[in-house]
C-alpha cells in the first residue's frame, strides 16, 4: 500500500532538497504523485515511496534503461529512501510512426542485455517491487528454472495462502513450471527488461514518442516484456511488434509462448487485485500447456 506523505508540502520540500532548486508551484496528481514547478523553468514529478527499497529500485531501473540510449526515459533528477524526482513527460497521443520507433527501440533496449536472469539494475536492491507487490531479484542459472522459482511460484503461493487460488487449482500452474524447459523455446541470453511493461507504463509525449516509466527492471526473457505489453493493450501494438521483429526477430513459436510469459503478471495481479485475475492466470496456464 502506498504510504501517505508526511504532510501536504513534503513533495515540494523533497523536490527542492533533491534538485537544489527553488519550488515555484505544485499540483497533486494522486496520493503518491505531485507535479512540481522549479525555478529553472522545468517541471518535475515527485513520487513518494511504496515501501522499503521501492524508490531505490525504481531510480536504479530508470537509470539502467536510460543508459541503453534506446527508448526515452524521464531523467532522474534526485532520489533518496522515500522520494523520487523525475522529469515530467508532456502528454500527447501515440502515433503509428512513433509506435514503430518504439518497437525497434525496445528491441535495442533488450539487446543491451543484463549480467544474468534476475540481475537487478546496477545499484538496485535485490528486494524490489512490481507495482506494489514485492519482487525479489535473485539470479538464476537458466531462464526456465529462474522463471518458475522466482517469478511464478512465489506469487502462486501467496495467492493460495490468501485464498484467492485454491490448492487444487495451483496444481495446474505447478504443472506449467514442471514443463517449463520444454515450453520455453530456444535459449536466449538475458535481456534488459522494463519488467512491468503494461500500457500504463508507456507514456506518449507531446511529440507522439514513447517514454517508459515505473519499471520493475531486471534481467529476463525479452518475450516477457512483449507479452505484458499485449496483455493490457497498447496503441498501434501491431506496428510496435512488426518493428521489433524487423530489428530483432523473435524465435519461432513466440506467439504460442505469449500465455506462458503472461502467467507471471497475471499472478501478480491475482495477489494484488483478486479472483478475476486468478481466472485469467488459470486460463493462461491451460493455454501454455496446450502450446
137 near 120, Cβ under 8 Å? yes
Total-model pTM: 0.94
Please determine, for residue 206, whether its predicted confidence score (pLDDT) is greater than 80. yes
E-assigned strands of 92-220?
127-130, 133-136, 191-193, 202-204, 210-212, 218-220
- The grid cell for 181 is 524447459
Please determine, for residue 6, whether its predicted confidence score (pLDDT) is greater than 50. no
5 near 14, Cβ under 8 Å? no
- What is the CATH code of the structural domain delimited by 96-290? 3.90.1200.10
Q: How confident is the model at residue 8 (pLDDT cuts 50, 70, 90)?
A: low
Torsion of the alpha carbons at 44, 48, 52 and 58, rounded to the nearest 10: -30
Alpha-carbon distances of 200 from 94, 197, 228, 257, rounded to whole Å: 13, 8, 11, 23
Mean pLDDT for the stretch of residues 133-145: 96
Please determine, for residue 226, whether its predicted confidence score (pLDDT) is greater than 90. yes
Q: How confident is the model at residue 32 (pLDDT cuts 50, 70, 90)?
A: confident
E-assigned strands of the chain?
23-28, 33-38, 43-48, 76-79, 83-87, 127-130, 133-136, 191-193, 202-204, 210-212, 218-220
In which region does residue 195 sit, left (phi positive, over 0), alpha (psi from -120 to 50) or beta (all else)?
left
Q: What residues contact 38, with CB distance under 8 A and at least 6 apart?
A: 15, 19, 21, 22, 23, 24, 44
The distance from CA 34 to its chain's CA centroid, rounded to whole angstroms, is 21
Mean pLDDT for the stretch of residues 57-73: 98
Q: What φ, ψ does residue 186 adopt, rounded to 5°?
A: -60, 145
What DSSP designation does 165 have? S
Q: Is 79 a catalytic residue?
A: no
Residue 168's SS3 state is: helix
**Domain spans of the chain?**
10-87, 96-290
- What is the CATH code of the structural domain delimited by 10-87? 3.30.200.20
Catalytic, out of 50, 79, 196, 225: 196
Amino acid at each position: 500500500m502506498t504510504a501517505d506523505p508526511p504532510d501536504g508540502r513534503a513533495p515540494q520540500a523533497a523536490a527542492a532538497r533533491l534538485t537544489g532548486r527553488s519550488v515555484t508551484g505544485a499540483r497533486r496528481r494522486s496520493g503518491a504523485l505531485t507535479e512540481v514547478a522549479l525555478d529553472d523553468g522545468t517541471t518535475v514529478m515527485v513520487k513518494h515511496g511504496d515501501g522499503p527499497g521501492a524508490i531505490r529500485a525504481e531510480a536504479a531501473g530508470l537509470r539502467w534503461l536510460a543508459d541503453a540510449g534506446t527508448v526515452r526515459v524521464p531523467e532522474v533528477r534526485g532520489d533518496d529512501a522515500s522520494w523520487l524526482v523525475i522529469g515530467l513527460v508532456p502528454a500527447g497521443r501515440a502515433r503509428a510512426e512513433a509506435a514503430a520507433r518504439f518497437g525497434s527501440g525496445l528491441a535495442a533496449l533488450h539487446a543491451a542485455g543484463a549480467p544474468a536472469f534476475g540481475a537487478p539494475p546496477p545499484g538496485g536492491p535485490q528486494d524490489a517491487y512490481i507495482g506494489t507487490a514485492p519482487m525479489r531479484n535473485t539470479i538464476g542459472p537458466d531462464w526456465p528454472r529462474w522463471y518458475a522459482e522466482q517469478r511464478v511460484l512465489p506469487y502462486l503461493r501467496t495467492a493460495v495462502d490468501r485464498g484467492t487460488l485454491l490448492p487444487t487449482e495451483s496444481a495446474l500452474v505447478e504443472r506449467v513450471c514442471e514443463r517449463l524447459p520444454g515450453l520455453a523455446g530456444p535459449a536466449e541470453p538475458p535481456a534488459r527488461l522494463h519488467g512491468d511493461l503494461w500500457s500504463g507504463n508507456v507514456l506518449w509525449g507531446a511529440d507522439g514518442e514513447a517514454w517508459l516509466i515505473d519499471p520493475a527492471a531486471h534481467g529476463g526473457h525479452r518475450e516477457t516484456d512483449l507479452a505484458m505489453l499485449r496483455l493490457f493493450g497498447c496503441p498501434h501494438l501491431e506496428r510496435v511488434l512488426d518493428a521489433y521483429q524487423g530489428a530483432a526477430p523473435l524465435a519461432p513459436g513466440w506467439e504460442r509462448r505469449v500465455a506462458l510469459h503472461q502467467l507471471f503478471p497475471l499472478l501478480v495481479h491475482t495477489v494484488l487485485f483478486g479472483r478475476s485475475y486468478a481466472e485469467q492466470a488459470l486460463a493462461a496456464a491451460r493455454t501454455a500447456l496446450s502450446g
